[in-house]
Chains A and B, each alone.
Chain A
Amino acid sequence: GAGVSQSPSNKVTEKGKDVELRCDPISGHTALYWYRQRLGQGLEFLIYFQGNSAPDKSGLPSDRFSAERTGESVSTLTIQRTQQEDSAVYLCASSQGLAGVADTGELFFGEGSRLTVL
């Protein structure tokens, strides 16, 4: 598709269950970012991928959070043993990649996956 695609759009789960959130970036974008947006708050950075590697994982809040990216395309964010404080919208963004003369600096965002932990 033309934009960043995320699934599921909504996920309701019980405390203690594992969840997987998927992001399909814009074709050809080598950089991929995950953010978390709690209700009424700004966006918290979670992790950055350049290709298949993750040079910046500094925003992952605990070891229950992990992410991977395969084939320089799809990325999956996994939350193990979910807690109620994990309830949020998880946003994925992609961009062209490393900064260069032609880099516009813009991140393109998906519509997010809304996670509710009961």
Chain B
Amino acid sequence: AQSVTQLDSQVPVFEEAPVELRCNYSSSVSVYLFWYVQYPNQGLQLLLKYLSGSTLVKGINGFEAEFNKSQTSFHLRKPSVHISDTAEYFCAVRGGYNKLIFGAGTRLAVHP
């Protein structure tokens, strides 16, 4: 069965600093991976996804993630964060019937 572990529940960072949000997955089948962002009192918005091809995936708002099969990881990175990046970030793996199986989330808090 597929599962996702997000290693950090909260990540505080100063504005303009780089950030990495960690995600590890478990899957016995072909892996499709996603990062979603949830701003306060809003639904989830897709940041980026890995389906196949290049292991470095670029998404919206300057985020990118790298699929590492040997380490079963899909960490999310941004070289310079803004206050507006403060949100909850969820990593997910596709499961049966194409449903997404989510991690517990990482709360990114960007401070001035």
Contacts and interface: CB of A to CB of B under 8 A. Distances in A.
B43 A95 contact: no
A77 interface: no
B101 A105 contact: no
Contacts of B83: none
Interface residues on A, range: 20 to 34
Interface residues on B, range: 20 to 34
Nearest to A44: B102
A112 B42 CA distance: 8
B43 A112 contact: yes
Contacts of B102: 35, 42-43
Interface in B60-108: 90, 94-105
Contacts of A65: none
A45 B49 CA distance: 19
Interface stretch (A12-20, A48-56, A67-75, A78-86): A48-56
Contacts of B49: 104-106
Given A42-B102, A42-B104, A43-B102, A109 B97 contact: no
Interface of B: 6, 32, 34, 36, 41-46, 49, 51, 90, 94-105
